[in-house]
Structure 1
Amino acid sequence: MSDRSDHNGAGMKLANGSRVAVVGGGPAGSFFTIFALDLAERTGLELEVDILDPKDFHQAGPAHCNHCGGIVSESLVQILAAEGISIPTTTVHRGIDSYVLHTDAGSVRLETPLQEMRIAAMHRGAGPKGAAVPSGHLGFDGFLQGLAVGKGARLVCDAVAGVEFREGRPELIGRNERYGPYDLVVGAVGLNPHSLKVFENALGRYRRPTAAKAAICEFRLGADSVHRCLGNSMHTFLLNLPHLTCAAVIPKGDYATLVVLGSRVDKTLLQSLLRSPALKALLPDGFVAEEKPACQCLPQLNVQAATHPYADRFVMIGDCGVSKLYK
């Protein structure tokens, strides 16, 4: 490994022909790529941008998903529209017009202004495990990644396992080959522990965000049952159950997505929640707490920002940097 020193900072400014690596092809990485290439075009700067991500967002199932409840807020929808980005109707599985808060004492409904359905419920990947993916259908991450590639980025289907330096510039060590050297490396790896360790080693002072445990379960109820039981509302739960912080049920086409956050998220907590009167009253007749989800994962949620999320030639963005907490 060569010395990472950069000769008193020479060459630290991006110029024509500079190479940028974006590690992680989720929304943070894709948004960075889209807006960086837009800005470069407006300023007459020619950049080469590689997006490195092992996932294939055309495939259903947890291996090709970034493990999230899949709610896009009204504010983000409006920001995207202002930038000329319109989320396709095939990506949005339900427009949300209200929130319903459920507690042990009862429930309250919170309507959006003018009852507009500007909050979007969608899958991050192509869909839950076993789902039939219609031709041309993309989840939110695949849609954004396609926009980034359309701007001129190169998509590399590989995971980054390490970083080395050549004459002060970082090279990325993939499973299949080496990439670079690069003038700038953007970390957009979410809370993936292996990727975070790679960047902690490369940046030196960077320390990953504090995270809380979560569980996401996709239950296939059928479109009619989802519409009848959940409507166009996102249902949130603040219940007096051991280890539960909060939970939510989100309607999405044929599926209801259950998101659970707590100090100890395990099968016992999930069963207790599914048996609770508040949640049982919401689910269709015949649904049993022991029913196996069509798809499930145990992700983490950012609850405290990272420290020192930057270094010479590196910057961390999204959940692995500074992000809205509990989003």
Structure 2
Amino acid sequence: MLRRVSYILLSAAPQLIRFKKKLRLSYNFLNPFVKPSEKLRLADGSVVLIIGGGPAGSFFAINLLRKAKSSGIKIEVIIVEKKKVMNIQELNLNECQIGECNYCAGGLSAKVCEALKKLGLILPAKVIMDKVFIINIFADWKTISLDVLKEMNSVYRGSRPKGRTDSIYNFDSFLSESSVKEGAKIITSEVTGLEYSDDGRVVVSFRGNNKTIKSDFVAFAGGVNGFLGNRFYTGEKPLSYLQEMIPGFKPPRVRRTLIFELDTGENDKLMYKISGELYFILHGSHTLKLEMISIIPKGKYITVVLIGPAIDSSTNKDNLRIINEFMNLPHIKKLLPRRAEIKNLCVCSPNIVTGTAKNPYGDRIAVVGDMFTANLYKDGIGSAYEISAMLAEVAITRGIDKRSLRKGYRSVIRKYNINNTLGKLVFLFIRIFFRNSFFSRIIYQAVITERKTKTRENRRLEKILWNTASGEDIYKNIILSMYHPLAIWAIFSGGLLVTLRNYMTELIFGLRWGNFSRNTTGVGKEVFEINSKVIKEEFSGNLGEGSLDFERMYSIRMNAPGEKIFRELGKFGDKDRKYFKPRFIDVTRISGEANQPGCIIRYNIFPRQLSFSLRLLKSIPGEHLSYEIMNGFGRGGILFFKIEAFKKGTMVINDENLLSIYVGFNFPKNLFKYLFPAYIHDVLWNFSLCQLKEVVEN
């Protein structure tokens, strides 16, 4: 009888275990004769071992040591890093150098920069490869440029690319040094095994020797490329010991990327051209299918990241072919011209996280960093900081047993699962609307309309683009912002309707977009108001008193010396000029010499009642031209051309200028306002400035 009962219980054990997992019941519930395990906590003398010396590991060490100190607990923190690490004390240096490549784009978002300041970590100037002042979002129709009003930087996380003279200055080394200053120790080795000891602590084994360390808590911060094996280094094997320690652990889903480094060499012009700007390009070509391209300047170097179906289906043998095809794409050749003799320094194909790990914790062990999860396609370092800070808080305040860790991780898992699911919807929307010429024109026009009519803090669409490109906000909030009724109305009224109106205007005036670039010419409301006030004060005698019936301002960046732009503006009244030649409007110089005060330019417009003349009042070579409106269509007014050096922050770029045009006048009769409405000026000058840019730059 006893044997039969035992047999039945043994036979039913698998079903009971499955039932337990399904209901997520504890083992102690199914075994009432066993006492529940005590809550495990860190105490004085506890040893915490961190596997991986990247951002997640260093951030966790710093946060944990500070939390422990504030709680009155003295603990020992050891970071194990398999890449080359120089210990500060041993070498008597001020740096910890982590060598090799760390498979990262190297962008520090505004959130990361704020987090560093919060931790009191001042990033050394030598670690910062470039400061970001502008984010450019390339769409099929036009590029939308966003000013960066918060601190953002680009860095190298490791010592690559090969040949860098300042390779010891990198972000991971800086964080390692900071963790050592906080009290952590660093061991250069590779972990080969984990197991529980008789007293329940974790025994850690290392490669190449018989040394072991008994730890009270282990944080795995090795990253997906160390764990899953980087595809560029196919010899690496998964670290199976992690799954042995945490039954049921499944790493997050990943996606293949292609990252390569370019060297601009002695081409200072190209280096300064892209310096201070991040580029997000949302399409490749019909043969090279890409969903996202990131171009990150880093001094004389450029980091390029490619994501898309063409990369998903490729192998390492395809890397050079893909890079060559990418560099020959028309929109890339304009940004990174092949004649610049750019050299490709190194290539890697790391994994990028697209999901969340399952069951990333156990008794005395937890996974942190991108082996747990990360924001979809954006701000992986920011995710590492957030998750590391959370784990440090849980380990000190809740405990290090599985149940305590589960409670701490629960909200984070839910947050990232929801956030990354919604992130896929955000990028689906972007792919649909930004890769199509008509749809991307609607979005561009909606953003520019909003920019011209609202102050910066009230621009909904610009905030959506900023949060998406910079990683400033979670995807949940971005989705809610996208589908807000006011955002939809802005796209409909300021985007769709204005685009249709402008398109019809282009047809009427015979404007055909050719092979020349389409560039942004819209000016923000705050910029317009500042410049308008200055110009009206300077030319008050020509504009009269009170408000003007008509005011407009346009600006465009040009990669050309101011003198060259000035000379081309002198052809404004010439018959053979290659810009501003719309149907029904004939612009001719009827007296005087080009760019000489006193010369008169006649606008002959159909119907002729709209015709008028301009007289050049003032001319400063390479700087500005100011015309007064003499008679006809305008009654007292100014057409003002201004050439000024283009600035990125406080940095002035040689031979890169900003051409601005201001038009302001009064109508002699209100009827004229309706015969030639303001939007016609917008269409004509937008088209003509893009033509002028092409002429000047080529």
User: What's the TM-score once normalised by structure 2's chain length?
Assistant: 0.43
Letter in 2 for 1:9: S
State whether structure 2 residue 208 is matched by structure 1 residue 176: yes
CA contact (8 A) 1:23 1:53 kept: yes
Stretch of structure 1 that moved more, 15-24 or 156-165: 156-165
CA contact (8 A) 1:57 1:139 kept: no
Which residue among 180, 186, 192 is the counterpart of 1:149?
180
CA contact (8 A) 1:173 1:179 kept: yes
Which residue among 130, 152, 170 is the counterpart of 1:139?
170
CA contact (8 A) 2:85 2:98 kept: no
Q: What is the CA-CA distance between 1:142 and the residue it aligns to?
A: 0.4
Q: 1:124 and 1:202, CA in 2 relative to 1: closer, same or farther beyond 3 A?
A: same
5 Å matches for 1:103-122?
A: 103-113=139-149, 116=150, 118-122=151-155
5 Å matches for 1:1-327?
A: 8-10=36-38, 12-56=40-84, 64-113=100-149, 116=150, 118-133=151-166, 137-167=168-198, 168-177=200-209, 178-191=211-224, 192=226, 193=228, 194=237, 196-222=239-265, 224-241=268-285, 242-265=288-311, 266-267=318-319, 268-284=321-337, 286-287=339-340, 293-327=344-378
- Aligned to 1:325, what secondary structure does the other structure show? coil
Letter in 2 for 1:188: A
Alpha-carbon separation, structure 2, partners of 1:144 and 1:287: 35
- Aligned to 1:304, what secondary structure does the other structure show? coil
Alpha-carbon separation, structure 2, partners of 1:149 and 1:197: 29
- Aligned to 1:286, what secondary structure does the other structure show? helix
Letter in 2 for 1:90: K
Q: 1:159 and 1:107, CA in 2 relative to 1: closer, same or farther beyond 3 A?
A: same
- Aligned to 2:103, what secondary structure does the other structure show? coil
Q: Deviations over 1:155-209 (max 9, x none)?
A: 0101112212211222122113343211110010110214553312221111101
CA contact (8 A) 1:55 1:65 kept: no
CA contact (8 A) 2:106 2:156 kept: yes
Q: What is the CA-CA distance between 1:110 and the residue it aligns to?
A: 1.5
- Structure 1: any 5+ residue segments left out of the alignment? 1-6
CA contact (8 A) 2:294 2:304 kept: yes
- Aligned to 2:69, what secondary structure does the other structure show? helix
Q: 1:224 and 1:179, CA in 2 relative to 1: closer, same or farther beyond 3 A?
A: farther
Q: Deviations over 1:268-314 (max 9, x none)?
A: 433222111111111145146xx752122111101111111111111
Which one has the largest radius of gyration?
Answer: 2
Q: What is the CA-CA distance between 1:83 and the residue it aligns to?
A: 2.0
Counting strand residues as a fraction of each chain, which structure ranks higher? 1
Q: 1:317 and 1:260, CA in 2 relative to 1: closer, same or farther beyond 3 A?
A: same
Q: 1:73 and 1:20, CA in 2 relative to 1: closer, same or farther beyond 3 A?
A: same
CA contact (8 A) 1:122 1:139 kept: yes
Q: Deviations over 1:201-241 (max 9, x none)?
A: 22111110101111111111037244333131111111143
CA contact (8 A) 2:284 2:291 kept: no
Alpha-carbon separation, structure 1, partners of 2:164 and 2:271: 19
- Aligned to 2:72, what secondary structure does the other structure show? coil
Alpha-carbon separation, structure 2, partners of 1:314 and 1:170: 8
Letter in 2 for 1:46: K
Letter in 1 for 2:249: Y
Q: What is the CA-CA distance between 1:247 and the residue it aligns to?
A: 0.9
User: What's the TM-score once normalised by structure 1's chain length?
Assistant: 0.88
- Aligned to 2:64, what secondary structure does the other structure show? helix
Q: 1:195 and 1:31, CA in 2 relative to 1: closer, same or farther beyond 3 A?
A: farther
CA contact (8 A) 1:57 1:125 kept: no
Alpha-carbon separation, structure 2, partners of 1:158 and 1:301: 25
Alpha-carbon separation, structure 1, partners of 2:74 and 2:327: 54
What is the total number of aligned residue pairs between the two structures?
315
- Aligned to 1:281, what secondary structure does the other structure show? helix
Identity among equivalent positions (%) equals 29
Alpha-carbon separation, structure 1, partners of 2:43 and 2:238: 28
